[in-house]
Amino acid sequence: MVCDWITESLGWSKKQRWSDMTQLRETSSVGTKRDFIRIRGLSKYFGEGGQPGVQALADITCSIAEGSFVSVVGPSGCGKSTLMRIIAGLLDYSQGDVSVDGQPVHGTRRDIGVVFQSSILLPWRTILENVMLPAEVLGLDMRSSRKRALELLELVRLRGFEEKMPRQLSGGMQQRASIARALLHNPKVLLMDEPFGALDALTREQMNIELQRIWSESGKTVILITHSISEAIFLGDVVFVMTPRPGTLARTINVNLPRPRSLDLTGTPEFANASHEIRELFNHAGNLE
Amino acid sequence: MTNAQLKPTAAEGGVISRTPIAGTAGLQRIFKSSRFLSSVLLIALILFWEFGIRALKVPRFLVPPFSDVLKALWQGFSAAPLARDGFWFHSGITLVEVLLGFFIGSGVGLALGILISQVRVLEEVLRPYIVAFQSLPKVAIAPLIVMWLGYGISSKVAIVCLLTFFPVLITSITGFHAVDNDRIDLLRSLSATSWQIFTKAKFPSALPYVFAGLEMAAAFSVVGAIVGEFVGAQSGLGVLILQLDAQMDTGGSFAVFIILSLMGVGLSAGLRSVRRRVLDWMPEELSSRTINT
């Protein structure tokens, strides 16, 4: 009874739920679209003078479908940021293969946008000039980029702030501006490294809803690195759960909650089950924060 | 209801009673402002200087009364621009030495600072020499430089260069090392070239440090020119001070001190206005805090 009421209020029919459950069984392939990012047997050692030292990542294999939203969740030091930096081409890797859009990753690429832990807006530039930075660096047409920058500022709800300096904006607004900047050169992939970690809980929830909207409107493939279990489930089509020492991909969880998701969803049994499953994995690895 | 009725009356009463209070408060603010107080102090000091010295019967060749200093200033500046006994000529010479030395010295300091901070090997090789040279009081070399370059303007420019070079070099190296790695990562993630990383992230990030060095250099530049002229020169304010002292014209010497301090104030004011324009994104207190930490 209660379960029926929940499914109904969430707008699911029984049929839809059945199809969700069948999808749950085919965990190996993520989504139905083609794999956009492929990682095979990836390992990373941090060592000095060419000697293998600490192993940060161990034998990670996964694939990410085009247009999907993937959350990577794990406790501090599980190598999730290292994984992101490797995909972004900011860090080289020791073993394995990483490819984006069919091409092996060697160094940075022009079709990736990165959102970092802090907004890293350059304080001597206005918000618009900050959002335009990728256009300058990549040598894009300035006039059309300016138009796109204004559209993106509209998308992240910062229209009217384009001439403001970064320090005049709140932390949440700064991070939204940095999302607009990451999207300016129309990258195929958006990599986000704990983008809301520095924000307070309320702003963070709002930013999660905003990000879901930005993602659905832009249609990018998004990889979100986070240490918040609820953020990972709330936003992700798929959640990669990582455990530390060395960083391994412990499980891939498909989240089949309907979109657009609202914050009320966090109280549903489905949500609770998924977060329980992730927490169990952390407990098992002896690492609950 | 009662609140709504009360509010306008309270506001009216406020306006009526506020006007006289605001007047006295405004006056109080003027009296307490630091600018007003320092002008009062200046006038008091000048009055004490003028009349205190006469009352205490201090000899004129030790400390001249203020009126003598004004007289000397008037006489010095009413001379023809190129007259060798006037202030214009000597001030001009010293100013040229200061400005030339400052621009060359700090320019080379900045350029080398950038180079050294970007090339690790260079920094490791040069660091002991920089430290050794920095701890040497540069004015000690002044006599040698005058001997090498002669009594003309070039030896003074060289001494000013030497004095302004080091503060700018050291602060530039520090500034370019202090660049936030995140900013570099951001540009790297966009496949930026090294030159783009330098112009768009490193250089603007290091500017507050560079300006701190330039301010130090500005203060040193006047010192360098005067020391150089003391050691050996044919013209300049330093030479003038030596001549006036030899003639026991203490009033004249004091007049030159005033010119020198105005020169220093002008230099640092000019620098500050450039700084305001270039670093308008960073409030002054904030940048000095950045540098101190």
The predicted pLDDT at position B288 comes to 57
CB contact under 8 A, A122 and B185: no
The predicted pLDDT at position B145 comes to 93
Chain B contact for A58 (CB, 8 A cutoff): no
pLDDT in tens, B125-158: 998 998 888 888 888 999 999 999 989 899 999 9
User: What is the C-alpha separation between A212 and A261, in angstroms, rounded?
Assistant: 8
Q: Map chain B to HEC letters.
A: CHHHHHHHHHHHHHHHHHHHHHHHHHHHHHHHCHHHHHHHHHHHHHHHHHHHHHHHCCCCCCCCCHHHHHHHHHHHHHCCCCCCCCHHHHHHHHHHHHHHHHHHHHHHHHHHHHHHHHCHHHHHHHHHHHHHHHHCCHHHHHHHHHHHHCCCHHHHHHHHHHHHHHHHHHHHHHHHHCCCHHHHHHHHHCCCCHHHHHHHHHHHHHHHHHHHHHHHHHHHHHHHHHHHHHHCCCCCHHHHHHHHHHCCCHHHHHHHHHHHHHHHHHHHHHHHHHHHHHCCCCCHHHHHHHHHC
User: What is the C-alpha separation between A252 and A232, in angstroms, rounded?
Assistant: 12
**What is the torsional sign of CA A261, A267, A269, A271?**
positive
The predicted pLDDT at position B286 comes to 56
CA dihedral B79, B82, B85, B89 (to 10 degrees): 100
Crossing angle of the two packed helices B203-231 and B284-292, in degrees rounded to 10: 80
- Partners of residue A99 on adjacent β-strands: A38, A104
Are residues B95 and B155 in contact, defined by beta-carbon separation less than 8 angstroms? no
Which of B186, B196, B200 minimises the CB distance to A116? B186
Report the gap between the CA of A122 and the closest CA in chain B (Å): 8
Crossing angle of the two packed helices B34-47 and B2-32, in degrees rounded to 10: 30
Are residues B98 and B263 in contact, defined by beta-carbon separation less than 8 angstroms? yes
Place of tokens 């001439």: A163
CATH 3.40.50.300 intervals, chain A: 35-110+188-195+216-289
Q: Which of residues 91-120 of A touch B (CB under 8 A)?
A: 107-110, 112, 114, 116, 118, 120
Among A208-217, B3-12, B60-69, B93-102, the least confident range: B3-12
Report the gap between the CA of A114 and the closest CA in chain B (Å): 7
Residue of B nearest to A178 (CA): B186
Which H or E element spans position A191? strand A189-193
Which has the higher per-residue pLDDT, A219 or A166? A166
- pLDDT of A2 higher than 50: no
- pLDDT of A201 higher than 90: no
A193-208 in b/e burial notation, b at 16+ Cβ within 10 A? bbbbeebeeebbbebb
Q: Count Cβ atoms below 10 Å from residue B287 Cβ, excluding itself.
A: 18
A chain contacts of residue B191, beta-carbon cutoff 8 Å: 107-110, 137-138
pLDDT bucket at B289, cuts 50 / 70 / 90: low
B chain contacts of residue A125, beta-carbon cutoff 8 Å: 281
**Length of chain B measured in residues:** 293
Asked if CATH classification 2.30.29.30 holds for the domain at A35-110+188-195+216-289, the reply, yes or no, is no
A chain contacts of residue B196, beta-carbon cutoff 8 Å: 136-137
pLDDT in tens, B38-97: 899 999 999 998 888 888 888 888 888 888 899 999 988 888 778 787 899 999 999 999
CB contact under 8 A, B189 and A120: no
Place of tokens 């004095």: B163
Q: Count Cβ atoms below 10 Å from residue B278 Cβ, excluding itself.
A: 15
Mutate: best of A121, A137, A140, partner B, most B CBs <10 A:
A137
How many Cα atoms are found within 13 Å in the side-chain-facing hemisphere of A38?
Answer: 10
B149-174 in b/e burial notation, b at 16+ Cβ within 10 A? bebebebbbbbbbbbbbbbbbbbbbb
- Nearest-5° Cα angle at A24, A21 to A25: 100
User: What is the C-alpha separation between A228 and A206, in angstroms, rounded?
Assistant: 15
Place of tokens 């890797």: A93
pTM passes above 0.90: no
CB contact under 8 A, B190 and A133: yes
Q: Which residues of B touch A (CB under 8 A)?
A: 180, 182-183, 185-192, 196, 200-201, 204, 279, 281-282
What tokens appear for B223 in the block? 């010192």
Which has the higher per-residue pLDDT, A235 or A218? A235
Chain B contact for A195 (CB, 8 A cutoff): no
Report the gap between the CA of B286 and the closest CA in chain A (Å): 12
The predicted pLDDT at position A12 comes to 42
Rg (CA), chain B: 27
Are residues A84 and A115 in contact, defined by beta-carbon separation less than 8 angstroms? no
Domains in chain B, start-ordered, CATH in brackets? 2-65 (no CATH), 67-292 (1.10.3720.10)
CB contact under 8 A, A123 and B282: yes
User: How large is the average pLDDT for residues A145-162?
Assistant: 88
CB contact under 8 A, A108 and B187: no
Which of A112, A120, A136 minimises the CB distance to B186? A120
CB contact under 8 A, A118 and B182: yes
B chain contacts of residue A136, beta-carbon cutoff 8 Å: 196, 200
The predicted pLDDT at position A13 comes to 40
Residue of B nearest to A168 (CA): B281
Which has the higher per-residue pLDDT, A201 or A174? A174
- Cβ pairs A/B, distance under 8 A: 52
Report the gap between the CA of B114 and the closest CA in chain A (Å): 20
**Measuring CA to CA, which residue among B100, B103, B97 is closest to residue B233?**
B97
Exposed/middle/buried for residue B70 (C-beta within 10 Å: 0-12, 13-18, 19+): middle
pLDDT in tens, A63-72: 888 889 999 9
Mutate: best of B183, B191, B275, B282, partner A, most A CBs <10 A:
B191
Chain B contact for A127 (CB, 8 A cutoff): no
User: How large is the average pLDDT for residues A274-281?
Assistant: 88
Which H or E element spans position A283? helix A269-284
How many Cα atoms are found within 13 Å in the side-chain-facing hemisphere of B143?
Answer: 1
**What is the torsional sign of CA A186, A187, A189, A195?**
negative
User: What is the C-alpha separation between B208 and B211, in angstroms, rounded?
Assistant: 5
- pLDDT of A94 higher than 90: no
Residue B239, Cα to own-chain centre: how many angstroms? 22
What percent of chain B has pLDDT above 70? Answer: 88
Q: Which residues contact B135 (CB under 8 A, 6 or more apart)?
A: none
Which has the higher per-residue pLDDT, A34 or B253? B253
- What does pLDDT average to over chain A? 81
Side-by-side strand order, sheet with A103-104? A54-65, A35-46, A95-100, A103-104
**Measuring CA to CA, which residue among B186, B191, B283 is closest to residue A193?**
B186
